[in-house]
């Protein structure tokens, strides 16, 4: 496992993003394009936080930037199902316990906004395939499903079907933040796994599995093989170890990855922002795209 711990920012803010983890990741458009995409996401969230905005706005801004970038597996450029279409999942949770999530979205341009609408405009937590009328009522931009489909993902689907694909077949984007008032938030968005069955849902939109936030402990967003994160309730397990065992953020992450991923054969990673403003990034896969603030500046890794 690789693990990085970042000290709290002098301004009291914290921000980290991820753009997918896997056994092998090759930047098909060259690493510079991925660095630029991750940097844009970090900067989008940072602008919110530096202006005194809430953590929830920061993570939504960061994830939106990644959803709109076709290099990442969320929004445009997401992975394709067995029938060649795109189904999108997303979740948003704030440290005060509120959460919203969507699964199987086919027309909403930015699924993280749909998750936020569930959080703010309904009494529910998770909605599957919200209909177009409801999305219109929520004021969300809708696009044809073909908008999400890119030539790169079509070729990837063909490789997966012919059993010649590598670890680029899955991925997720996400962000975690602590604002200057000490509030935490986490958001995660994904197109799932290339060649997945229609209707498959991974960990990203499941509160506690791929996304979790609690102001007294931590905000977490996960990426990797979703079924393992679902079975291990990975995001919540980190918070529970901090709350019930008094573990530090770093130790909680180490122990959770060891028990819930290493021990079960699962692969992936996570980003976590602690209640004290510290950040931990960890993954047991060969690589994870990620970005964060370091000494007040965006740093990205591909």
172 an active-site residue?
yes
Nearest alpha-carbon partner for 162 in 194, 190, 191: 194
Q: Say which of 168, 172, 188, 211 is annotated catalytic.
A: 172
- 3-state per-residue secondary structure call for 85-97: CCCEEEEEEECCC
The predicted pLDDT at position 222 comes to 98
Query: pLDDT tens per residue, the chain (302 residues)?
Result: 999 999 999 999 999 999 999 765 555 667 899 999 999 999 999 999 999 999 999 999 999 999 999 999 999 999 999 999 999 999 999 999 999 999 999 999 999 999 999 999 999 999 999 999 999 999 999 999 999 999 999 999 999 888 754 444 558 999 999 999 999 999 999 999 999 999 999 999 999 999 999 999 999 999 999 999 999 999 999 999 999 999 999 999 999 999 999 999 999 999 999 999 999 999 999 999 999 998 888 999 99
Task: Please tell me the predicted confidence (pLDDT) of residue 167.
Answer: 42
Alpha-carbon torsion angle 259, 249, 275, 298, nearest 10:
-100
DSSP alpha helix (H) spans, the chain: 31-50, 55-67, 111-121, 132-137, 151-161, 226-232, 234-245, 249-256
Q: What is the pLDDT of residue 28?
A: 60
- By the 10 Å C-beta count (0-12 exposed, 13-18 middle, 19+ buried), 165 is classed as middle
CATH topology of domain 2-301: 3.60.20
Residue 251 contacts residue 233 (beta carbons within 8 Å): no
Predicted local confidence at residue 296, as pLDDT = 83
Q: What is the pLDDT of residue 171?
A: 80
**DSSP code of residue 34:** H
């Amino acid at each position: 496992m690789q693990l990085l711990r970042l000290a709290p920012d002098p301004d009291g803010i914290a921000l980290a993003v991820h753009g997918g983890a896997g056994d092998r990741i090759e930047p098909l458009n060259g690493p510079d394009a991925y660095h630029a995409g991750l940097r844009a996401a970090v900067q989008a969230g940072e602008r919110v936080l530096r202006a005194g905005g809430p953590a929830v706005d920061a993570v939504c801004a960061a994830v939106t930037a990644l959803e709109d970038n076709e290099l990442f597996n969320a929004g445009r450029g997401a992975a394709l199902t067995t029938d060649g279409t795109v189904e999108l999942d997303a979740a948003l949770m704030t440290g005060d316990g509120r959460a919203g999530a969507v699964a199987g979205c086919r027309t909403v341009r930015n699924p993280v906004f749909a998750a936020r609408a569930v959080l703010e405009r309904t009494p529910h937590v998770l909605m599957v395939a919200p209909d177009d009328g409801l999305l219109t009522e929520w004021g969300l931009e809708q696009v044809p499903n073909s908008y999400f489909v890119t030539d790169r993902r079509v070729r990837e689907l063909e490789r997966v079907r012919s059993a010649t694909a590598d670890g680029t077949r899955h991925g997720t984007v996400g962000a975690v933040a602590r604002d200057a008032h000490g509030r935490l938030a986490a958001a995660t968005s994904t197109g799932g796994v290339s060649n997945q069955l229609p209707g498959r849902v991974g960990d990203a939109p499941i509160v506690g599995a791929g996304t979790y936030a609690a102001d007294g402990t931590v905000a977490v967003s996960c990426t990797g093989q979703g079924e393992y994160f679902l079975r291990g309730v990975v995001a919540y397990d980190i918070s529970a170890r901090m709350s019930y065992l008094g573990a530090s953020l770093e130790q909680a992450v180490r122990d959770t990855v060891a028990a819930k991923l290493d021990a079960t054969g699962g692969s992936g990673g996570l980003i976590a922002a602690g209640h004290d403003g510290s950040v931990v990034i960890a993954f047991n896969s060969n690589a994870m795209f990620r970005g964060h603030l370091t000494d007040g500046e965006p740093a990205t890794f591909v």
